[in-house]
Amino acid sequence: MIELRDVKFEYTRGGFSLRVPELQISAGTRAAAIGPSGSGKTTLLNLISGIECPEAGRIDSAGVRVDRLSPVARRAFRITNIGFVFQDFLLLDYLDVLQNILYPYRLHHDLRLDADARNRAQRLAADLGIDRLLDRRPDELSQGERQRVAIARALVTAPKLVLADEPTGNLDPATKQHALDLLFEQCDALSMTLFMVTPDHGLLDRFDQVVDVSAFGGSPP
């Protein structure tokens, strides 16, 4: 599902580089990325999703060599194949909850906002316990509710791969475990692969694989 080989990446502005000799995450599994702040966890997710492109090496994500795609094709690949849960949720305050969940459909014409998509949004909202809130705005929600909207938005396109960047940051411990339960349940139900950054070592025994990103990152030589 995810495979990196001999990957080298350095920001053009310099100062940080990532070297990944080998990384494999099998389809349908749950992997966690750990490492101190600044070790390159977000950079690694950005390489896997094609937001960033490596200088050398190969990156397979969801069956596609993302390192070989043009910038336009990488964006299309990302929107149509990958679900993201961002650290700060990145909900849009001018849209209501339902519109936020369906937001990916505004981003690319390959995603069709048809009856199936609307049904999936409704079902996800019900499964995540936010179906009462569909006409609220994000600023009328609690943190835990916003989190669940972000999870629903990441899953609504039924992506093969879900990337989550510290999605349980800023949540209290009980809400954190619950959010993870919901994310895992949905990934199982839809046979999705999950790669999630978490600073929370207490959650790691719930994952199939733990990737220590500090082994890859560093300053350029």
Q: Which residues bind Mg ion (CB under 5 A)?
A: 41-42
* Binding test (CB under 6 A) with ligand ADP, winner from 39, 49, 147, 168: 39
Query: Between 100 and 198, whose beta carbon lies closer to ligand ADP?
Result: 198
| DSSP code for 173 | H
| Residue 39's binding partner out of Mg ion, ligand ADP, none, with CB under 5 to 8 Å set by partner kind | ligand ADP
70 scored as a contact of ligand ADP (CB under 6 A): no
Collect all residues with Cβ–Cβ distance below 8 Å to 26 and sequence separation of at least 6. 1, 193, 208
Residues near 72 by beta carbon (within 8 Å), at least 6 away in sequence: none
Quick check: 41 binds ligand ADP (CB under 6 A)? Answer: yes
SS3 for 10? Answer: strand
Tell me the H-state helices in the chain.
41-49, 71-81, 97-101, 115-127, 143-155, 173-189
Nearer to Mg ion (CB atom), residue 41 or residue 178: 41
Nearer to ligand ADP, 45 or 102 (CB): 45
The span of 38-46, 71-79, 111-119, 140-148 binding ligand ADP (CB under 6 A) equals 38-46
Strand partners, 217: 18
